[in-house]
Chain A
Amino acid sequence: MSDAAIDTPAPAEQLYGCDVTCSRGEKVIHVSRANYIATLKKAIDDSFTMCTDLTAVDFLTYASTNRQLPAGLVGERFEIVLNLISLERRERLRLRVQIAEGEASLPTAFDLYPGTEAMEREVFDMFGIQFEGHPDPSRILMPEDWEGHPLRKDFSVGRIPVQFKGAPS
Chain B
Amino acid sequence: MTNNLITATPAATGEGPQEMRSRSELTAKEVLREVGSVLRMSEKAAAELTSSPVENDEEQTMIINMGPQHPSTHGVLRLMLELQGEKVLRCKPIIGYLHTGMEKQAEELTYMQGGTNVTRMDYASPLNNELVFSLAVEKLLGIDGDIPERATWMRMLLSELNRMSSHLLFMATNGMDMGAVSMMIYGWREREEVLRFFQKVTGLRMNHNFIRPGGLAADLPTGWRDDVLTILEGLPSRLAEYDVLMTNQPIWRERLQGVGVITAEEAVALGTSGPILRSAGIAWDLRRDLPYLKYDEVEFDVIVGSYGDAFDRYAIRLNEIRESMKIVYQILDKMPSGDYRIQDKKVTPPPRARIDESMEALIHHFKIFTEGFKVPEGEVYVGIESPRGEIGCYIVSDGSPKPYRLHMRAPSFVNIQALPHMMRDGLIADAVAVISSVDPVLGEVDR
Where the two chains meet, the residues of A that have a C-beta atom closer than 8 Å to any C-beta of B are 1-3, 6-7, 23-24, 26, 28, 49-53, 55, 57-58, 61-64, 66, 68, 81, 83, 87, 90, 92, 94, 110, 113-119, 122, 124, 126, 128, 135-157, 168
B63 to chain A, nearest CB (A): 16
Quick check: is B250 within 8 A (CB to CB) of the other chain?
no
Task: Among A24, A147, A150, A153, find the residue whose CB has the most chain B CB atoms closer than 10 A.
Answer: A24
CA distance A62 to B377 in the complex (A): 10
Q: Mark B23-40, 1 if CB is under 8 A from A, else 0.
A: 000000000011011101
Quick check: is B260 within 8 A (CB to CB) of the other chain?
no
A81-B379, A151-B104, A156-B5 known; 6 other A-B pairs, CB under 8 Å? A2-B142, A53-B409, A87-B268, A90-B290, A142-B96, A154-B5
Cβ-defined contact, B1 with A92, below 8 A: no
Cross-chain contact of A128 among B12, B16, B18, B105 (Cβ < 8 A): B12
Quick check: is B422 within 8 A (CB to CB) of the other chain?
no
Chain A residue, CB-CB nearest to B266: A114
Residues 354 to 398 of chain B near chain A (Cβ within 8 Å): 376-381, 383, 390, 392, 394, 396, 398
Cross-chain contact of B9 among A26, A136, A155 (Cβ < 8 A): A155
Q: Which residues of B contact A154 (CB under 8 A)?
A: 5-7, 9
Q: Mark B264-290, 1 if CB is under 8 A from A, else 0.
A: 000011111100000000101000011
Answer whether A53 and B392 are a contact pair too, CB < 8 Å, given A115-B417, A150-B101: yes
Q: Which residues of A contact B380 (CB under 8 A)?
A: 23-24, 26
Tell which of B159-167, B211-219, B315-323, B399-407 binds the partner: B399-407
Q: Mark B431-447, 1 if CB is under 8 A from A, else 0.
A: 00000000000000011
Q: Which residues of B contact A124 (CB under 8 A)?
A: 15
Cβ-defined contact, A118 with B417, below 8 A: yes
Cross-chain contact of A144 among B1, B13, B34, B289 (Cβ < 8 A): B13
Q: Across chains A and B, which 7 residue pairs bring their CB atoms closest together, nearest first?
A: A115-B271, A135-B37, A147-B11, A141-B96, A53-B409, A148-B9, A115-B270
Q: Report the count of interface residues on B (CB-CB < 8 A).
A: 68
Q: Which residues of B contact A142 (CB under 8 A)?
A: 96, 99
Q: Can you list 6 A-B pairs, Cβ within 8 angstroms, ordered by A? A: A63-B404, A115-B271, A115-B272, A115-B417, A144-B15, A156-B5
CA distance A146 to B12 in the complex (A): 9
Chain B residue, CB-CB nearest to A134: B37
Cross-chain contact of B13 among A3, A122, A145, A168 (Cβ < 8 A): A145
Q: Which residues of A contact B447 (CB under 8 A)?
A: 141
Task: Among A2, A137, A146, A148, find the residue whose CB has the most chain B CB atoms closer than 10 A.
Answer: A148
A60 to chain B, nearest CB (A): 9
Chain B residue, CB-CB nearest to A168: B3
Q: Which residues of A contact B95 (CB under 8 A)?
A: 140-141
Cβ-defined contact, B398 with A62, below 8 A: yes
Cβ-defined contact, A117 with B394, below 8 A: no
Cross-chain contact of A153 among B5, B33, B390, B417 (Cβ < 8 A): B5
Q: Which residues of A contact B143 (CB under 8 A)?
A: 1
Cβ-defined contact, B16 with A63, below 8 A: no
Q: Which residues of A contact B8 (CB under 8 A)?
A: 148
CA distance A63 to B139 in the complex (A): 20
Quick check: is B293 within 8 A (CB to CB) of the other chain?
no
CA distance A142 to B7 in the complex (A): 16
Q: Which residues of A contact B268 (CB under 8 A)?
A: 49-50, 87
CA distance A90 to B287 in the complex (A): 12
CA distance A81 to B395 in the complex (A): 11
Cross-chain contact of B34 among A26, A28, A118, A135 (Cβ < 8 A): A135
